[in-house]
């Protein structure tokens, strides 16, 4: 199977869907002629024409607001927000409108839109090119929230998201765009060409929403992670030698609780890792669910390793980023408890 970067996989997903379904349209800032600042939509305007892939004014509100209107009409817009840090101007349209349209109209109007956006740090992007706002979406009923960790899933889940009848927030860890990143920023960059999950089937294929994946089988403790942190957790397991079972959550909502509970009941220990700030991060929900569902199986407190509760700093990027050392320490502590 061909190996692709995450960017290529994402572009391929849109290409496949635009080819299959005339109702799929793609737009956003710099998305048309230029193909997006991360080049995820490169070539799509040329291939499908300017009325199916186009540049927009710099208004995230307008991008999402018009997408909702188009979805109500019957199209399936897949739009890009240039960085997740810039989604807030569209937050009202997402929360008050996209998320509730089906419900409040009793299904007369629906909102099958996908809102793609690059998330996470590790690229010296400072406060406004590094955020991971997933918890701001998982709190909103009516939305689905997805975070792929590799090219294979990125393509398969983006196709699922475009085909989904409801609004999907599709978060792309930008630090993974060109290669799997395990947090060892001091080491040379690796490429997806060498990673088995860089293998991406051609044409139409899906990875279902709502299903987690076990990235590493293990018996000592369960790690719940998504996006970049899946790779960091793998590094931490390798480096500590702790036999961690690493679950790649993939879809945050709806969550694959079964897979999580099954693993934690087996291992009795759980470490949750994400890059977003700690307080009210999605890790809090995971922690609450784990202890609600596995209380009598837990041998240690569920631990969280996350970004600190500060804005994402520029110079102190690697102090902020939950790297393999910090994650590994949590493994050790959780095993010792």
Ligand X SMILES: Cc1ncc(C[n+]2csc(CCOP(=O)(O)OP(=O)(O)O)c2C)c(N)n1
Contact 328, 236 (CB under 8 A): yes
Residues numbered 86 to 115 that lie near other proteins (CB under 8 A) are 86, 88-89, 92-93, 96-97, 101-110
Pairwise CA distance, residues 178 & 247, whole Å: 22
Separation of first and last alpha carbons in the chain:
44
**Residue 300 interface partner, choices a copy of itself, ligand X, other proteins, none, CB cut-off 5-8 Å depending on type:** a copy of itself
- Taking the complex as a whole, how short is the minimal distance between the CB of residue 334 and a copy of itself, in angstroms? 11
**Mask: binding to a copy of itself, 101-140, rule CB under 8 A, as x and -?**
--xx----------------------xx------xx-xxx
Smallest gap, in angstroms, from Cβ of residue 76 to ligand X? 24
Q: How far apart are CA 237 and CA 331, in angstroms?
A: 8
Do strands 270-277 and 244-248 pair parallel, antiparallel, or not at all (unpaired)?
unpaired
Strand partners, 223: 246, 271
Collapse the DSSP code of 236 into the 3-class scheme (helix H, G, I; strand E, B; otherwise coil) and give the result.
helix
Cα–Cα distances in angstroms (integers) from residue 159 to residues 15, 92, 185, in the given order = 10, 26, 31
129 carries an active-site annotation: yes
Site string for other proteins, 234-263 (x = CB under 8 A): -------------------xxx-xx-----
Given 30, 199, 239, 243, the residue binding other proteins (CB under 8 A): 30
Q: Which of 22, 196, 258, 309 binds a copy of itself (CB under 8 A)?
A: 309
Of 72, 123, 300, 335, which one interacts with a copy of itself (CB under 8 A)? Answer: 300
- The residue from 196, 279, 316, 333 that contacts a copy of itself (CB under 8 A) is 279
Is the CB of residue 71 less than 8 Å from the CB of residue 77?
Answer: yes
Please list every residue from 15 through 54 that binds ligand X, using CB under 6 A: 29
CA angle, corner 334, sides to 264 and 119, nearest 5?
A: 75
Nearer to other proteins, 253 or 272 (CB): 253
Q: Which of 181, 320, 321, 331 binds other proteins (CB under 8 A)?
A: 320
Site residues for ligand X, 80-99, by CB under 6 A, read 82, 86, 89
The secondary structure element, H or E, covering residue 257 is helix 257-267
Instruction: Select from 29-37, 193-201, 211-219, 294-302 the region that touches other proteins (CB under 8 A).
Output: 29-37
Q: Is the dihedral of CA 52, 57, 59, 62 positive or negative?
A: negative
How many C-beta atoms lie closer than 10 Å to residue 223's C-beta? 34
Report what 2 binds from other proteins, a copy of itself, ligand X, none; CB cut-off 5-8 Å by kind: none
Question: What burial letters (b/e) apply to 157-189, b meaning 16+ CB within 10 Å?
Answer: bbbbbbbbebbbbbbbbbbbbbbbbbbbeeeee
Would you please indicate which residues are annotated as catalytic (active-site) residues?
A: 129
Q: Which residues bind a copy of itself (CB under 8 A)?
A: 85, 88-89, 91-92, 95-96, 99-100, 103-104, 127-128, 135-136, 138-142, 253, 276-277, 279-285, 287-288, 291-292, 295, 298, 300-304, 309-311, 337
Judged by the rule CB under 6 A, the positions of this chain that interact with ligand X are: 29, 58, 82, 86, 89
């Amino acid at each position: 199977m061909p190996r692709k970067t995450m960017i290529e996989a994402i572009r391929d997903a849109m290409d496949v869907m635009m080819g299959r379904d005339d109702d799929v349209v793609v737009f956003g800032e710099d998305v048309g002629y230029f193909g997006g600042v991360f080049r995820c939509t490169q070539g799509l305007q040329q291939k499908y024409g300017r009325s199916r892939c186009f540049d927009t004014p710099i208004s995230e509100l307008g991008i999402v607001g018009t997408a909702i209107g188009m979805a109500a009409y019957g199209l399936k817009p897949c739009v890009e927000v240039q960085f997740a840090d810039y989604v807030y101007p569209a937050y009202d349209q997402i929360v008050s409108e996209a998320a509730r349209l089906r419900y409040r109209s009793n299904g007369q109007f629906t909102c099958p839109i996908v809102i793609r956006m690059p998330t996470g740090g590790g690229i010296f992007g400072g406060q406004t090119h590094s955020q991971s706002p997933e918890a701001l979406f998982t709190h909103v009923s009516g939305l689905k929230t997805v975070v792929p960790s590799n090219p294979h899933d990125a393509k398969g889940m983006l196709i699922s998201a475009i085909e989904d009848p409801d609004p999907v927030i599709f978060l792309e860890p930008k630090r993974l765009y060109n290669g799997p990143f395990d947090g060892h920023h001091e080491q040379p960059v690796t490429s997806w060409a060498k990673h088995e999950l860089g293998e991406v089937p051609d044409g139409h294929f899906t990875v279902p929403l709502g299903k987690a994946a076990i990235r590493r089988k293990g018996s000592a403790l369960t790690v719940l992670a998504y996006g970049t942190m899946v790779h960091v957790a793998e590094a931490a397991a390798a480096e500590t030698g702790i036999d961690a079972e690493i679950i790649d959550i993939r879809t945050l909502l709806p969550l694959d609780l079964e897979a999580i509970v099954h693993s934690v009941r087996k291992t009795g220990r759980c470490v949750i890792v994400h890059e977003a700030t700690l307080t009210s991060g999605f890790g809090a929900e995971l922690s609450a669910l784990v202890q609600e569902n596995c209380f009598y199986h837990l041998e240690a407190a569920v631990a969280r390793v996350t970004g600190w509760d500060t804005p994402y700093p520029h110079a102190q990027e690697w102090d902020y980023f939950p790297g393999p050392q910090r994650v590994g320490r949590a493994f050790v502590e959780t095993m010792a408890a």
